[in-house]
Amino acid sequence: MKLLINEWRKYLKNTRSVIIIPLILLLTLIIYFSTMHFVVTHTSHSISKNDSDQVFLISIAICYSFINFISIIYSSNILSSEISKGTIKFILTRPYQRYKILLAKIAAITILMPVFLIISVIVSLLLHILTIHQMPEISIILKYTGIHSIFILAITIFFTAFALMLSSVFNSSALVTGSCIVYYFFADNLWEIINFFYLHLPEDGWIYKLNPLNVNSYLIKLMADAVEKPVQSEFFITLAANIVYALIFFLIATLIFRRRDISLSN
């Protein structure tokens, strides 16, 4: 628990984390709702309930996309920056088991990001009421927030574990960050090319869908479907596969990090 609190203190002491990033998101939401207010006030008919819900859904999607990208950036630097700066040596001198150090880093950012999303949803709701002058359905609010929170949890755990694995091997923070960003945006395209030229797996098969290069993109697709339709069992299967890969990454990171402890301590 003490390790977890120490990780949160690092975020709170970072001005960029506490002030600048939430301020950027707030300005983005203000611009979006101001635009929607302008559109609504300059139409001849009042906005329908469905249109109001759609406006709110887009605002949640904005929050989700912003926080999701921030979680990847944070995950990429959560260990690699400490190794590159040498501050990890002070942590290694303390009587903590090494896997607990890594676990605390994952837990800190995993808990922080969904909380950030919930706060953003509350701000979006207030701006929605002030500009659109309608209250979205409570069920819509809970469903949108719940689905996006689950996905942010999955993505954060996955990329934090992936970044920890890379950070255990490489000292460069820029390399780890760049690898995570490339993985997030282009891994599914790489898997599609590999499958097209070499494997020829059917795209509707589980092996193709749940490949580690494709699982996050497929989860995004299922999440988009879950927003409009009832949640299918395939969503939970893909979510479970995502978490399993994260556990594998974490195990590899722990094994490598233990071997690097000796050299870092020396």
Tell me: the pLDDT tens digits for 133-164?
888 888 878 888 888 888 888 888 888 889 88
* Low-confidence winner among 127-131, 212-216, 217-221, 240-244 (lowest mean pLDDT): 217-221
Rounded to two decimals, the pTM is 0.82
- Choose the most confident range, by mean pLDDT, from 17-26, 62-71, 165-174: 62-71
Mean pLDDT of 246-256: 90
| Helix boundaries (H) for 14-97 | 15, 21-41, 49-77, 80-85, 88-92
Range of the domain at 99: 2-265
Query: Considering the chain, what percentage of its residues have pLDDT values greater than 70?
Result: 83
Confidence of residue 191 (pLDDT cuts 50, 70, 90): very high
Mean of all residue pLDDT scores within the chain: 82
Structure tokens of 20?
């600048």
Mean pLDDT of 230-236: 78
Q: What is the pLDDT of residue 261?
A: 53
- In three-state secondary structure terms, 126 is helix
Q: What is the pLDDT of residue 231?
A: 67
Q: What is the pLDDT of residue 102?
A: 82
Instruction: Characterize 16-47 residue by residue with b for buried, 16 or more Cβ atoms within 10 angstroms of its Cβ, and e for exposed.
Output: ebeeebbeebeeebeebbeebbeebeeeeeeb
| Spatial CA neighbour of 80 closest among 157, 11, 180 | 180
Q: What is the largest CA-CA distance in the chain?
A: 73
Confidence of residue 27 (pLDDT cuts 50, 70, 90): very high
Number of domains in the chain: 1
Q: What is the pLDDT of residue 61?
A: 86
Q: What is the pLDDT of residue 193?
A: 92
More confident residue, 257 or 31: 31
